[in-house]
Each structure stands twice: as structure tokens, then as C-alpha cells.
Chains A and B, each alone.
Chain A
């Protein structure tokens, strides 16, 4: 790349700001940037000239979960204490009726109330579902984002500590008759992506949860053996 010629330097800076340099060109450009003041000024000038063009993008409705996620990662909100350990009672899906009522409905309803009047008709991307997985004390722990045909993303909001002989396992339940489906083990404090083909389906009100299991996952294979740490139902975004 020719950084010496002023005209070429300016054109490269413009292409860089447009995002048009190839991977190798970009790497070379970014190596040069910190040591070439004229180049840095050219980049800044292009950014300042072009940024208003971004505003042609139509605004998109923002989920209330997004600010909660930002705030937590910046430490604006004090980390919630880890849930107290309770011995598992009956099988988890038998107690689902309990979870579905009361607290969880309130959460889903609150999200829906916030979302319904929003800008649904501006852009119509495929429906994304969000489930905020909460600890028994209702504090948010993880966020599930799922869109039909796309990988499911699981993002931590809190830092979990897990013993050496324990694993966290991610589950979903779409249909009681079919029973729970394992979506694999989860590393504490690390986002996870699950291929959409692993899901039994995707719909509003679908349960996702994380259980504490012996190292390697539930020995029962087809259902959790340990206690539920976090759970939540999907809400259409």
C-alpha cells in the first residue's frame, strides 16, 4: 500500500472507513495507523464526513434485556448473590406448572407490555425470542436469544462458580410429553452457541434452564438430575 502519496493515502482511508479493505489490506492499514499521523487524520475526517449516512438505517425496537445486559457487564448493578442450594424435589418438569404460573408469567407479561407498542412495523427481521433465565430469587442470570433457523446464543449476566466435580448443563422443554432436551454443557461465565438443529423447536413460552450436574452432565442423560440454577420462558422480541 502506498501511504506516501497524499491522494492515494486519502483514498485508502476512505475505503477503510467504508469497510472495503480486504483482510490483509486492513491488517497492513491498521499496523500503519498508529505511526502515521496524516493517515489517522484522513481516517478521522472520513468518519466525520460519512457517519450521518448511517442514519438511513431504520430504527429497530430495543429489548429491555439489552440495557440490563450492558449495565451488568459494566458493573453498574451489584452482582446478585448466588442462589441458595436447595435439594431437588420432584422431577423438574413435573413442577413446571408451578414455574409457569406466578412469577414467570409476571416477567413475561412485563416484557410484553414494554414491547407491544414499539416499532414492530419498521423492519421485519425474523422473530427473535429472548428468555431471561432467572435464579430462584428472581435475579437474572443468563440470557437466551433464539431465532428460527439460526444458532441459539446463551450469554451470562453473572459469574457462576462451579466445583471441580460439577458441570452446568443447558436444557429446553417445548413439550411435556416429549420431555426435556439437553443442549449441552455450559462453561461458567462464558457465552455459548448451540446449533438450531439441536432444538426440538422454538416458540413463545418455551422453557430454557441451566442445572447444576455432576461433572460431564446429568447421569440420567434424558433429564436433569441436579437442581435448577436458572430458568426462563421465551418471549417474542
Chain B
């Protein structure tokens, strides 16, 4: 299993996301399947962390791939990476799902306990982020409270209130940690 994962990671370097999106925009169905084969299990993982229900995560990835296909022509490689664009589409759909009050909402405390969040060990979980991304080093350089708050919001889809509850910290403090954390990240990346 470890072997198959490292294999997947090493093949990342060779995959040209921008070219695949351009081919999708031209209507090449095979290009979408290549993106899917390359990223589906990771994107399902991203969605599951946010929506916390397997069947909903499937629906998020399904909807995201429809959108990637339909919107591929709007992707502009001058403005950002193809892989980033794909992850953004998935996160956006997952967030829309959990923030949409009109959906049936279940009490999900049970599920939240089943999937550990980043507060358990944010530094360890950062090890999965490739060191080629400067954001990893920048997050590692933040103090624990800012790093954990930012990651609970971004990775686990927590609201300010949920982060405050998770960290047993007043809401105003958490809001300020996140604002200062974002400012520090921006400075670190510039």
C-alpha cells in the first residue's frame, strides 16, 4: 500500500494539469479521465474531510468533475496552476454543500468524531503536503494557535464558531488568530 501511494506521488511530477485542462476545453473526453485517474482519490479525501459523509463526498466529486469539464475553457494558466484550479473547484463545491442551509442537515457529531481533524496534530498532517509548496514551510513557521485555526477552517471546513469550540477559545480570539495567521502567510509567501 505504501508502495502504491509513493508511486502515485512520484507520477504527479510528470502530469501536465494545464495541458489536460486545455484538452478538456477542446472536448477531449480522455483528458478528463486522465485528471480523474490522477486525482480522484485525493479529491475524494479533500471532500470527505469537509462534508464528512462518504455519499456526499461522492456527490461533491461528481459535481466537481462535471464543472471541470464544463468550465475548463475558463481556466487561464497565466493566473494560476491547473492543479490548484481543480482543488479549488472541489473545495468550493464541498463548502457550498455544508454551508447551504436548505439542505437536510443531520446532527453530525458522530461523524466528526470518526474522522480526525487537523487539530489532533496539524504539524504531522502537514507532512503530507509536498515540500515543493512554500505554503508548507510558511504554515510550519506559524505559531500553533494560528496554524491550527487556519487549517481547521481550510481543511476541515470549520466555521469561526466551530474552530472556537474545537480549541475551547473565545470567538474573538479565534477570528484574530486567523486574520493574523493569513497576514503572516501572505508575508511569508511574498
Contact = CB atoms under 8 A, between A and B. Distances in A.
B178 interface: yes
A14 interface: yes
Nearest to A146: B55
Contact of B55 (A22, A50, A61, A150): A150
Name the prevailing secondary structure of the B interface residues. Answer: helix
Given A11-B179, A147-B55, A56 B125 contact: yes
Interface stretch (A68-76, A131-139, A176-184, A201-209): A68-76
A169 interface: no
Interface residues of A, number: 54
Interface in A31-51: 44, 46-51
B122 to A, nearest CB: 8
A22 B161 CA distance: 10
Interface residues of B, number: 71
Given A57-B49, A59-B45, 8 more contacts: A18-B153, A19-B99, A55-B129, A60-B45, A70-B65, A123-B45, A125-B48, A193-B104
18 contacts: A18-B182, A19-B91, A19-B154, A46-B182, A48-B80, A51-B88, A55-B42, A55-B130, A56-B125, A56-B126, A56-B128, A59-B5, A60-B48, A67-B40, A70-B36, A128-B54, A145-B55, A150-B53
Interface of A: 10-11, 14-15, 18-20, 22-23, 26, 44, 46-63, 66-67, 69-70, 73-74, 76, 119, 121-126, 128, 145-147, 149-151, 153, 155, 193, 237
